Amino acid sequence: MKKLAIIVLFMGVLAPAMAQQKAQYSQYLFNNFLLNPALSGIESYTDVRMGTRRQWVGVDGAPVTYYISGHSSFGMSDRNAPVGPGAGKGFIPKLPSKNPRSTKYHKSRPHHGFGAVAQVDKTGPLSTTNLNLTYAYHHPITRKVNMSVGLSGGMIQTRLNGNELHLINQNDPTVRPNTMGRTNFDLGLGTWVYSDYFYVGASAAQLLTNSFASQNEGANDPEQKLQPHFFLTGGYRIRIRYDFSLEPSVMLKLASPSPLSVDVNFKATYANRIWAGMSYRHGDAVAALAGMNVNHILDVGYSYDLTTSGLNAASAGSHELIVGIKLRNKSRMLCPEWLW
């Protein structure tokens, strides 16, 4: 069964019609910046996040992903320091007032955001390295609702280790017994509308489909094009009481000719410090998520995916870990103000 899963997995990697090219995440709820450059600089501090995902444990050659991301705001006044939910000092969270009328929110003043993402994804003999720089501009559209637009640009390098392939036809001219590679420009766009109680975002990645460099010599190079990805996401915060809230959200992902992917998420947060939730990815997995804002500098999150697709007979599920660090957090914010 494991060998069969490897064959199916590898076929999916080589045929864009069978699989999406970008890495799969369950923890994107806590780092939507990975999918949308418009989130660059959305908070008043510098947000640095490191994550890793080991998918389909038990299947040889299954995807393993590592990434580090960071973004920061420029031109955001210190007067934007939070005074409502999410504000905290040290190890003791400052909770919202029990009187809703006493809780005041502010609009995000016009400002710029810059960021960067580096990611490595390895699936069997195929590895992909991404490096992108991002920019966003944030502007209020009402007293409580803000909007940002962003773009990202960089490079994607795809490498195939021919030494790890065992083919029936060893004379296949498109596969060489060494490492083959392609480098592509990457371009992404996004927008994000947000307030203290909802967010809606749309983004597109890998919009440039042609490669500009090849590490191979000869005329028999296999064709390799990037597959454009489109994301639509939204979430809403329901405050049950002053220290407890529920946050349902949904994400739609399209990477034609792959079928539409739908994620439905449900998360609960207590005292701006502890959160837990569930995520359902149609036709793929059910995930359990949990995490903690340790203090105003450090937060951690973990998720476990139970595979519901045909790979469940060979897979022991997927694990994902994320660690966040808040730098220049002058207001000692415990829970993100806009990315809850």
pLDDT at residue number 166 = 65
Query: Going residue by residue through the chain (340 aa), what tens digit of pLDDT does each one get?
Result: 444 344 444 444 443 333 457 888 888 988 999 999 999 999 999 999 999 999 988 888 889 999 999 999 987 754 444 444 444 443 344 455 454 444 455 566 899 999 999 999 999 888 999 999 999 999 999 988 999 999 999 999 988 887 766 666 666 655 555 667 888 899 999 999 999 899 999 999 999 876 555 555 554 555 567 889 999 999 999 999 988 999 999 999 999 888 899 999 999 999 999 999 999 998 889 999 999 999 999 999 999 999 988 777 778 889 999 999 999 998 888 888 888 7
Backbone dihedral region for residue 332 (phi beyond 0: left; psi -120 to 50: alpha; all else: beta):
left
pLDDT at residue number 38 = 98
For residue 142, give both structure tokens. Answer: 């009402």
pLDDT at residue number 82 = 44
What is the spatial distance between Cα 77 and Cα 70, in angstroms, rounded to a whole number? 20
Task: Identify the H or E element spanning 2.
Answer: helix 2-14
What is the spatial distance between Cα 236 and Cα 266, in angstroms, rounded to a whole number? 10
Strand positions, DSSP E, 12-163: 46-54, 64-74, 88-89, 92-93, 111-123, 126-140, 146-161
Q: Taking the CA atoms of 84, 90, 93 and 98 in sequence, report the sign of the dihedral they define.
A: negative
For residue 6, give both structure tokens. Answer: 């490897």
Q: Within 10 A of 75 (CB to CB), how many other CB atoms are there?
A: 12
**CA–CA distance from 201 to each of 24, 37, 67, 266 (Å)?**
18, 10, 22, 17
Length of the chain, please? 340
b/e map 175-205, b = 16+ CB within 10 Å: bbeeebbbbbbbbbbbbbbbbbbebebbbbb
What is the spatial distance between Cα 82 and Cα 104, in angstroms, rounded to a whole number? 9
Instruction: Say if residues 302 and 320 touch (Cβ distance below 8 Å).
Output: yes
pLDDT at residue number 88 = 41
For residue 159, give both structure tokens. Answer: 């490498």
pLDDT at residue number 275 = 95
What is the spatial distance between Cα 31 and Cα 119, in angstroms, rounded to a whole number? 14
Q: Encode 200-252 in three state secondary structure.
A: EEEEEECCCCCEEEECCCCCCCCCCCCCCEEEEEEEECEEEECCEEEEEEEEE
What is the spatial distance between Cα 180 and Cα 215, in angstroms, rounded to a whole number? 6
Domains of the chain: 22-90+107-211+227-327 (2.40.160.40)
Could you tell me which residues are beta bridge partners of residue 153? Answer: 133, 187
Instruction: Say if residues 126 and 158 touch (Cβ distance below 8 Å).
Output: yes
Q: Taking the CA atoms of 186, 134, 267 and 198 in sequence, report the sign of the dihedral they define.
A: negative
